[in-house]
Structure 1
Amino acid sequence: MVTVNEAKQLIVAHAAVLPPETRKLADTVGYVLAENINAPLSLPSFRQSSMDGYAILHSDISAAGTGLQLKGESKAGQTELENLTPGFAMRIFTGAPVPDGATAVIMQEHTRVAGGQVFIDEFPVPEGKNVRRIGQQIMAGTTALTAGTYLSPGGIAFLQGLGITDVQVCRKPKIGLLITGDELLKPGEPMVAGRVFESNSGMIAAALKQEGLREIEIRYAGDDLDTTITELQKLVEKNDIVLASGGISVGDYDFVGEAMNAVGAETVFYKVRQKPGKPLLFAKKDEKLFFALPGNPASSLVCYYEYVLPAIRKMTGRTDLFLKALQLPVKYGYSFDGERDEFLKASIADDSVIPLDGQESFSIRSFALADAIIYLPVSQNKVAAGDLVEVHLLPF
């Protein structure tokens, strides 16, 4: 049995970044760049107005109320412009090119137009006012984004603005999920006494999709060793990470650990000193990772967030592997006995964290209401209201 921190360290050490792939930029939100991107052009690539108003020579303005002759206009998308000469002003719009000769743009709210002239009610006017310089965002040939950058909508907009259409990103893992148990019914099947509707497949698949994973293969096996091995082997052949739900404890019908050995997975650790989720198994075969998760839904989801998610993020090139953690005061006191760290389903409200009712490993309703997990090590097995506790924010 390993500690919580030892388990996390072992998983991160054994997970490796997947090889890169080239994707269309529009399809890369949530991916991580696998290469440095150099700017093929400057942004902006021409001097650009940041206001609706009038392009002028700042040196023409000797006092508030100076009048200038109007000469033409510049609108967004215009490609040909006359030069601006002293004593003249040009009507200009936001995003439009600033004509050669102009050194500033005066916003229209600070002007008056009469008799073919525009009067500038502003003094002094600094050179470059309201003019976006060539390369003000980035200069051509410099690094736009570095390898390892997580591509957010803002990142995609930035690269698209540079005219980039394809990028190399770290591939996301293909996930195989094995659901085990004779007692399980699929949703839509008629209820039978002594059996339960299986919910872990939907839960884990939803968590994977929330992380941006789409290649998810789900298979099912009853409490039978041969069937478990057969279905597990099918998942191993096609996927980078294989998850199994249930069948990993010490019961007479728990075959997942044995089945993982049969398909060639080498166990890294089995059992973590925690509650819930003690019977967690982590194994590896070549570069493929295996997680045998407890069958109880709450235990399974805790183990996903605390252990599987960091492995996924490591394989996709991310550096923020773990759930965001912070210290918050706990609203109510809590204590526990034993030698295992505890994870509590929780909700954040009014700058404090509330342990929810229903902390049992089978209780998933409380997870439906949770937005955080409280982590209490054995060294902090008794907390009073107002004490600071470690809180892991769920990724939504």
Structure 2
Amino acid sequence: MVTVNEAKEKIIANTSHLSTQNRSLADAAGYVLAKDIIAPIALPSFRQSSMDGYAIIHSDVAENGTSLKLAGESKAGQTLTPDLKPGSAIRIFTGAPVPESATAVIMQEHTEVIGGHVLINEYPVPAGKNVREVGRQIKEGTVALTAGTYLSPGSIGFLQGMSVSQATVYRKPKIGLLITGDELLKVGDPLSHGKIYESNSAMLIAALAQDGILDIELKYAEDNLASTVQALIELLEQNDVILASGGISVGDYDFVGTSLQEIGAETIFYKVRQKPGKPLLFAKKDEKAIFALPGNPASSLVCYYEYVFPAIRKMLGHDNPFLKSLKLPIKYAYSFDGERDEFLKALVEEDEVMPLDGQESFALRSFAIANAIIYLPVSQNKVEAGDLVEVHLLPF
């Protein structure tokens, strides 16, 4: 049995970035860059106005109310920029080219047009006011985005603004999902005594979808060794990561651990000193990661977020693959006995965290409203209201 921190260290040490692929920018959102992107042009590529107003030479304004001759117009998209001479002003609009001789733009709210002249009701006027110089955002030939950057909507817009059409990214893993348990029914089956509706597959598929991972192969195995071994062999043929749900404890009908031995997988660890989710197994087979998750739904989801999530995020290229962690005051006192660290389903509200009712390993109702997990090590097995605790924020 390993500790929580030992389990995480072993998982990260035994997972690597996946191979890379070139994707069109339109299809690259949600991926992580595997190579730096160099700016092919400067942004902006010409001097731009950041305001609707008037382009001027700032030294022409000697006092409040200075009058300048109106000598033309520059609008967005205009390819020819009018010349600006001393003592003159050019009407200009946001995003329009600023004449080379202009040194400032006065916003129109600080001006007044009388006849063919513009009164400047601002003094003094600093050089460069409201002018976006060439390369203000990014200079041509410099690194626009570094490897390891998550391609968010903002990233995509930034790159397309430089006419970048492709990006080299880490590909997303293919997931094999194995569900075991003769007691399980599929949605729509008639409910009979002793049976339950299987929910872990939908739960784990939804969790994977939060990272944009949709290539998932789902198989069910009967509670016997032959069926479990065959399902694992088939899933390993086509997938990078195997998630097996159930069949990993010490019951007479738990065959996942034995099946992994049968197919020659290397067990990195089995069992973690935690509650819930003690019977977690992590193994490898030909560089493919295998997670055998507990069958109880809440245990399974805790193990997914605390262990599978960071492994997959590392494969995707994220530099910090773990759930975001912070310290928050706990709303209620909480204590526990035993020698296992505890993970509590929780709700973060107004800068404090509240443990939810229903912490049992089978209970998903509390997970349905949780937005965080409280991590309490054995060394912190008794906390009072207001004490700071470690909180892991769930992805949304």
**What TM bracket, shorter-length normalisation?**
over 0.9
Q: Which residue of 2 aligns with 1:12?
A: 12
How far did residue 77 of structure 1 move?
Answer: 0.7
Distance between the aligned counterparts of 1:84 and 1:387, measured in 2?
66
Contact 2:284 2:290 in 1 (8 A): yes
SS of residue matched to 1:217: strand
Distance between the aligned counterparts of 1:332 and 1:67, measured in 2?
68
Q: Which residue identity lines up with residue 197 of structure 1 in the other structure?
A: Y
Q: Which residue of 2 aligns with 1:188?
A: 188
How far did residue 395 of structure 1 move?
Answer: 1.2
SS of residue matched to 1:84: coil
* 1:354 paired to 2:330: no
RMSD: 1.1
Q: Which residue of 1 aligns with 2:335?
A: 335
Q: Which residue identity lines up with residue 229 of structure 2 in the other structure?
A: I
Counterparts of 1:214-253 in structure 2 under 5 Å?
A: 214-253=214-253
Q: Which residue of 2 aligns with 1:380?
A: 380
Distance between the aligned counterparts of 2:306 and 2:279, measured in 1?
14
Q: Could you report, residue by residue, the CA deviation over 1:359-378 in whole angstroms, capped at 9, with x for unpaired residues?
A: 11001111111111111111
Distance between the aligned counterparts of 2:384 and 2:127, measured in 1?
62
Q: Which residue identity lines up with residue 175 of structure 1 in the other structure?
A: I
Contact 2:174 2:216 in 1 (8 A): yes
Q: Which residue of 1 aligns with 2:140?
A: 140
Contact 2:343 2:373 in 1 (8 A): yes
Q: Which residue of 2 aligns with 1:73?
A: 73
Counterparts of 1:236-385 in structure 2 under 5 Å?
A: 236-385=236-385
Q: Which residue identity lines up with residue 74 of structure 1 in the other structure?
A: S
How far did residue 150 of structure 1 move?
Answer: 1.6
Distance between the aligned counterparts of 2:104 and 2:386, measured in 1?
57
Distance between the aligned counterparts of 2:225 and 2:269, measured in 1?
21
How far did residue 329 of structure 1 move?
Answer: 1.7
TM superposition score normalised by structure 1: 0.98
How far did residue 210 of structure 1 move?
Answer: 0.7
Q: Could you report, residue by residue, the CA deviation over 1:177-224 in whole angstroms, capped at 9, with x for unpaired residues?
A: 001111111112221221111000010000000122121111111212
Distance between the aligned counterparts of 1:360 and 1:330, measured in 2?
19
Q: Which residue of 1 aligns with 2:127?
A: 127
Q: Which residue identity lines up with residue 266 of structure 2 in the other structure?
A: E
Count of aligned residue pairs for this structure pair = 396
Q: Could you report, residue by residue, the CA deviation over 1:211-267 in whole angstroms, capped at 9, with x for unpaired residues?
A: 221211111112121111111111101111000000001111111111222233111
Contact 2:110 2:122 in 1 (8 A): yes
Range moving further from structure 2, 213-222 or 47-56? 213-222
Distance between the aligned counterparts of 2:124 and 2:317, measured in 1?
51
Counterparts of 1:83-162 in structure 2 under 5 Å?
A: 83-162=83-162
Aligned-pair identity (%)? 70
Distance between the aligned counterparts of 1:379 and 1:120, measured in 2?
69
SS of residue matched to 1:206: helix
Q: Which residue identity lines up with residue 51 of structure 1 in the other structure?
A: M
Structure 1 gap segments, 5+ residues each: none
How far did residue 152 of structure 1 move?
Answer: 1.6
How far did residue 314 of structure 1 move?
Answer: 0.8
Structure 2 gap segments, 5+ residues each: none
Q: Which residue identity lines up with residue 369 of structure 1 in the other structure?
A: I
Q: Which residue identity lines up with residue 383 of structure 1 in the other structure?
A: V
How far did residue 37 of structure 1 move?
Answer: 0.9
How far did residue 285 of structure 1 move?
Answer: 1.2
Q: Which residue identity lines up with residue 50 of structure 1 in the other structure?
A: S
Distance between the aligned counterparts of 1:127 and 1:384, measured in 2?
59
Q: Could you report, residue by residue, the CA deviation over 1:249-288 in whole angstroms, capped at 9, with x for unpaired residues?
A: 1111111111222233111111111111010000001220
Contact 2:73 2:82 in 1 (8 A): no
How far did residue 15 of structure 1 move?
Answer: 0.4
User: Kindly tell me: are residues 386 and 82 of structure 1, through their superposed partners in 2, closer, same or farther at Cα, counting changes over 3 Å?
Assistant: closer
